[in-house]
Structure 1
Amino acid sequence: MKLLFIALIASLSATSCQDKYPDLQDGLYAEIVTTKGTMVAQLFYDKVPVTVANFVGLAEGTHPQLPDSLKGKPFYNGITFHRVMDKFMIQGGDPTGTGRGSAGYRFHSEFDKDLRHNKPGILSMANSGGLATNGTQFFITEVPYPSLDAFDANGNVKACDQPRVSCHGVFGELVKGIEVQDSISNVKVGTGNKPLEDVIINQVNIIRKGADAKAFDAVKVFTIEEPLLSEKFEALKTEAESRVKEEAKKAAEVFKTENKDLEGELIESPTGLVMILNKAKNGKTPKNTEKVLIHSTGYFVNGDLFYTTQVDVAKKFNQYNENAEKNGAYKPFAMIYNESATLVPGFREAMLKMNVGDKARIFVPSYLGYGPSGRRPRIPPNTNLVFDLELVGIE
């Protein structure tokens, strides 16, 4: 009887909300009533159904992972926005108000390439890093914040399973009350960006408009589809990796065309490395126990310089740094001449094809370079690179 009463009250509340917003198109929505005003977010249940099911199940107290003590209770009601950052976002969903609380469970991230942190009012999952640390906490953006996306600018999946790589799952967008988000983001805060005066979520009411939204069963969706999210992410990665390799093949063809007049032997490796090798006469082959001295200059495929060990090249590109020269930046570096060399795979492969005195220009596809992680701050994820190499001696 108690559960029936709760369900009846929830039904009446949803009906009331639905009548309150006659202009909303068919879809699934969350009315977030706070002490600063009311926001309404459209929930993208057709694109990220598990993440939406998680939010809906919590809001309605029906989530299958809730402990018995919380079942039948609207989880978000009475919880605060515990972290507020102007020109960034507002974050809530932690019953402890510390940023460390949850309902005692975690689930895998869910992403859709069309959903980005590209505008104010984006509703997204907060997590503690990695792919399986989502729970009850969410945030709403105040400004576009693409670094939170799971995809880079080219639509490729970032290395979300790596440390310090930020990937958050978008699952909704404010359609009403963006000014309320702004007012919350402007409250005075103290330590940890916690509001000095609590901003409370009084209620989260789920609104269903249209047959599809009314048929959305949050409990069923979460129970059946959540265990498949890891497999779904791997499929996204596989698709992205295929696209990266196809793009690298095209870039390699451009590299060959642009350097067709460069003196040397063209070597196309099965790995994807392309190399124009200018061999020295009687060049000594180093032993695998020796360290070679390497001059190296790195370019983006558009010709922009990002690194060099040669002072004249640095000056030519207006990147010369006197302090760098004093610290020994403009001289050959030493590297062991074997597979243990601490170099990106494409660079290492090229080095091991060279003798002392050889020079080479190489095309390194992104997956043989810095991959989906890139290398901060200069090299973005999934970036193809070009290097000029010269083995100048043995240490």
Structure 2
Amino acid sequence: MVRLLSVILASLLAMTAFGDMPARAAGDKLVIELKNGKVVIQLRPDLAPKTVEQIKTLANQGFYNGIKWHRVMDDFMAQTGDPTGTGAGGSKLPDLPAEFSNEEFKRGTVAMARTSDPNSANSQFFICFNSIGCASLKGSYTIFGQVVEGMEFVDLIKRGAPGSGTVTNPDVMQKVYVQ
């Protein structure tokens, strides 16, 4: 009986380890090494399975290593994932279908960037600095993760010009991998 209660308690603790997020499988964390420290993102295949698979594939290929944070807007978000550094590029993989959800955008939410075509997300993504700046994006952008460690390092990413967010001499993702 005591053993059964221990197993149940351990299961409940695992399910609540990330607040209101369900428990996750091994290999569902993305680590981004920045100049100031590591950012750990809990991937959300329950919200966006195709997107998570593409992000993991790109990370495993080393695609994101050395990629710039090309658009960073104060009180809104930091965007990366474009190998050209212009905001117009992507990977050689196909664009993804939209996987929109009713999940709230909050501080540390990670979502796909796209053009006006909802099915144009490819490799670019952004991390929200706060819930106020990103709240209006709910239901219009694919959420695929949540920063669970290192948000203080995201806060240190070099900001861009007011209005456009274009960054001169931008910070880069030094190394990105699946854990």
TM-score when normalising by structure 1? 0.37
Give the counterpart letter for 1:195 in structure 2: V
Correspondence list, 1:242-281, <5 A: none
Alignment of 1:146 onto 2:117: no
Specify the alignment match of 2:9 in structure 1: none
2:112 maps to which of 125, 148, 161: 125
Specify the alignment match of 2:160 in structure 1: 189
Q: Cα–Cα, structure 1 residues 26 and 131, in superposed 2: closer, same or farther, change >3 Å?
A: closer
Deviation, structure 1 residue 108: 1.1
Q: Name stretches of at least 5 consecutive residues in structure 1 with no aligned partner.
A: 1-22, 62-73, 151-166, 208-395
Identity of aligned residues (%): 34
Q: C-alpha distance in 2, partners of 1:196/1:143? A: 23
Specify the alignment match of 2:13 in structure 1: none
Bigger RCO (CA 8 Å, 6+ sep):
2
**Count of matched residue positions in the alignment of Structure 1 and Structure 2:** 153
Give the counterpart letter for 1:132 in structure 2: N
2:64 maps to which of 53, 76, 85: 76
Correspondence list, 1:1-395, <5 A: 26-27=24-25, 28-61=28-61, 74-104=62-92, 105-113=94-102, 115-117=103-105, 119-144=106-131, 145-150=134-139, 167-184=140-157, 187-190=158-161, 192-207=164-179
SS for the counterpart of 1:193 is coil
Note if contact 1:84-1:193 (Cα within 8 Å) is conserved in structure 2: yes
Deviation, structure 1 residue 183: 1.1
Note if contact 1:36-1:199 (Cα within 8 Å) is conserved in structure 2: no
Q: Name stretches of at least 5 consecutive residues in structure 2 with no aligned partner.
A: 1-16
Deviation, structure 1 residue 188: 4.5
Q: C-alpha distance in 1, partners of 2:55/2:63? A: 10
Specify the alignment match of 2:7 in structure 1: none
Q: Cα–Cα, structure 1 residues 36 and 82, in superposed 2: closer, same or farther, change >3 Å?
A: farther
Deviation, structure 1 residue 136: 0.5
Q: C-alpha distance in 2, partners of 1:174/1:29? A: 9
Deviation per CA, 1:129-172: give whole Å up to 9, x if none: 1221111000000011221111xxxxxxxxxxxxxxxx101010
Give the counterpart letter for 2:143 in structure 1: V
Give the counterpart letter for 1:45 in structure 2: P
Q: Cα–Cα, structure 1 residues 196 and 51, in superposed 2: closer, same or farther, change >3 Å?
A: same
Q: C-alpha distance in 2, partners of 1:46/1:140? A: 19
* Greater fraction helix: 1
CA RMSD of aligned residues (A): 1.9
Deviation, structure 1 residue 124: 0.3
Q: Cα–Cα, structure 1 residues 194 and 37, in superposed 2: closer, same or farther, change >3 Å?
A: farther
Deviation per CA, 1:59-103: give whole Å up to 9, x if none: 112xxxxxxxxxxxx110010110000100000000000000111
